Amino acid sequence: MSDQGKSLSDFLVDKDELGVYARVSVDPNLYVLTAILKTAYWFTDQCYLFLANRPPLIEVEFRLKQGDSTDSLKKLCGDFLNNLLDQAVRQKVLEETSVVRDTLVKKAFFEAKAALSKGVVSDESHLPHEDQSFKLDPLNISGR
């Protein structure tokens, strides 16, 4: 059968006991689970979401917090898929640059641990001597 003219996102709108919902299917081989979860996390303040694992796809179900407008649901799905693509690219870049990032962090910590340069010394002249105690109170602070 030809896939010509068929949407790859497999968008569906239906109704059940909780109201109208829209569903899109995403391929976890194309979009890693981390990207799907990060995107879903950003959408939980706008709508109700549910993820179902239906191998080889992951189905994402959307419900509006208020109302049952199909157009709003379609827009949500479209926005979700765009954001998913964005997250997937970010995730890929994150993976590809992880070695460079780790090296930079290690270098930064290594430099912070290095010995102080000449001229930078700690001024410890105000530290109390062994025979001094807060009980002596020469400035009578407790009496003020």
Partner 1 sequence: MAFIREIDNGIYSRKALADTRDAYRSYCDVLAAPLPNNRVSISLTVKNEYMADSRQIILEFWNYFLDSACKVHLESE
Which of 144, 42, 142, 22 has the alpha carbon at shortest distance from 90? 42
Burial label for 91, CB within 10 Å (0-12, 13-18, 19+), is middle
According to the binding rule CB under 8 A, does residue 53 interact with partner 1?
A: yes
According to the binding rule CB under 8 A, does residue 51 interact with partner 1?
A: yes
According to the binding rule CB under 8 A, does residue 17 interact with partner 1?
A: yes
Residue with tokens 């780790």: 102
Least separation in angstroms between residue 128's CB and partner 1 is: 44
Site string for partner 1, 28-47 (x = CB under 8 A): -----xx--xx-xx--x---
According to the binding rule CB under 8 A, does residue 74 interact with partner 1?
A: no
Size of the site for partner 1 (CB under 8 A): 18
According to the binding rule CB under 8 A, does residue 124 interact with partner 1?
A: no
> Which helix (DSSP H) or strand (DSSP E) does residue 84 occupy?
helix 70-96
Least separation in angstroms between residue 49's CB and partner 1 is: 6
Q: Which of 13, 49, 57, 85 binds partner 1 (CB under 8 A)?
A: 49
Question: What phi and psi values does residue 102 have, to the nearest 5 degrees?
Answer: -60, -40
Can you give the binding site for partner 1, defined by CB under 8 A? 17-19, 33-34, 37-38, 40-41, 44, 48-53, 58, 63
